[in-house]
Chain A
């Protein structure tokens, strides 16, 4: 286990940038176009793509989406990209729990097409210790094997201690898998789901899966005790992912993130600012982002959630909105419905 809290480092790529952020808890100027725009509070572009299902040409949708939010070959060329899907607790025959392998494959192909030097997939499943069984049951193992995409189990990797840049929870420090340093660009790839503790689980909550089980447990109970909503904010503020690509083709409504029911939304949502991505997804789900505690807390701090601050590209929200079922006996889902 390494300790980054006392070292001073500077740099121009994501790896060094990440280390620098970890040390001082603030952004670093220069070198990273994507990071420069990440935490601005002003307008940010979010792309909504309407697709027909997992059989669609998802790669073309993703490339179009990336271009719509001004990500070009220049931003990707020569960079190593880490895709972080949501594989919290796969079970055979329940594909609506996890980010679909088809969209992970499409994202990998997209970044390679745009000149990425490499793509890897990494996850630290929240409820399961057998990462390889997680890959098998989610259907991702064969995709990764066929496409020769490496996988990293973030639950068991060596870790580095960093300062908590968000400072909202009780945690002064966060322990981050050292494998994250191997990537220049971190892409959160969640499933569009309701959640029985957080209201919704999208690109920010998906980052719980980055936190190593060897330090936080199975489930990642340390984060629950430290404040679930606050930790969602803290992890995003500390990791500063550059991108989110949300699998909203088949989402989950009701008692998510595991026991809910599938719902066909047929959308992909892409953006650089995670709170803005999640706010857009919430609206697509018929949920008011201002009533989701961690999104409200993110507004003006690490991103934009007001509709007026989000430059919507592709489809408009109303044309793809499909109200996800909310359960009145789940406190986190009470009174969060977005008005018509």
Chain B
């Protein structure tokens, strides 16, 4: 019997239905005469503005992982020629495509209609291969939007122009061609208005993570990401976050902690382990360890107050990715480390967990360097955990448990 008690939020129980509805609407889009897009990277607002049903690469992967379908799709992809240690998000899609092409029976709720347009928002080289692979295997139409990471502030204005130009000269004409109608800039503005309201509420919820003990955790936020990202503009987004904020305010007033007692507060770097949130949660709860803040989940529109809903919505969107977005913070050498160090102070963090995904190197580079630098500056210990977001074979929970327990012991020893 654990000495710790996890108090689950009522609001987060609603997210399953919201997400299921989204994926169901995608599955049935073609029978309803709707156009379908698949999208990687952050540009799904554009097909939404054309009233297309849109899939999002990472969102689908967490959905398939959460449904327990990931392993089968990964293995189907490997039988179709994919390498075992390549990006598992890419492989999930290749597995889905192979299952469709070869009529391999898999869960129906993870099979999506082929897109009328595949938008390869390129944040990493794998996303190019994902688009190329699906084009080659399924013959779907592909367009790319390259979203390169900046390395210094002075580059941002050039990158914004570069991305904006791709959207105006390539993505929007492709969407107009597929949909047979002019691009709906007003609808894009409406989506941004809803996004702004949702993300401001989300930021107000983030403030509660600073309370000690915290009334909610990074895992709760992780399952609440969809309305502020790939379900942006959804009519359910604002009510969801209003309800969440009210529940957190109530918990704060009654001093109800997410985990009682809260023994240590940790930072989580990298992807969230979507298919294994429960397993991680069980290990961390046993240690009284609460994950509170992380680089990846924090990158989605961290400064929504800057969303310009009066001006050009394309410019406004691009600025949310660069000038006012997480993309810059996550990649600029001058910003990355100081941002994490600020969070360590703001959220009273006791230790670092660097989640090193075996199939996504983008987030892993420099993890030990980060731990060393933060330890020097902030005096807190850290640990690298190897695993994967959805691939069971890449997670060894005996090793993960030992590392997390050792982190808890280091934190305790430092607290004296």
Partners in one complex: no
Which residues of chain A have a CB within 8 Å of any CB of chain B? none
Which residues of chain B have a CB within 8 Å of any CB of chain A? none
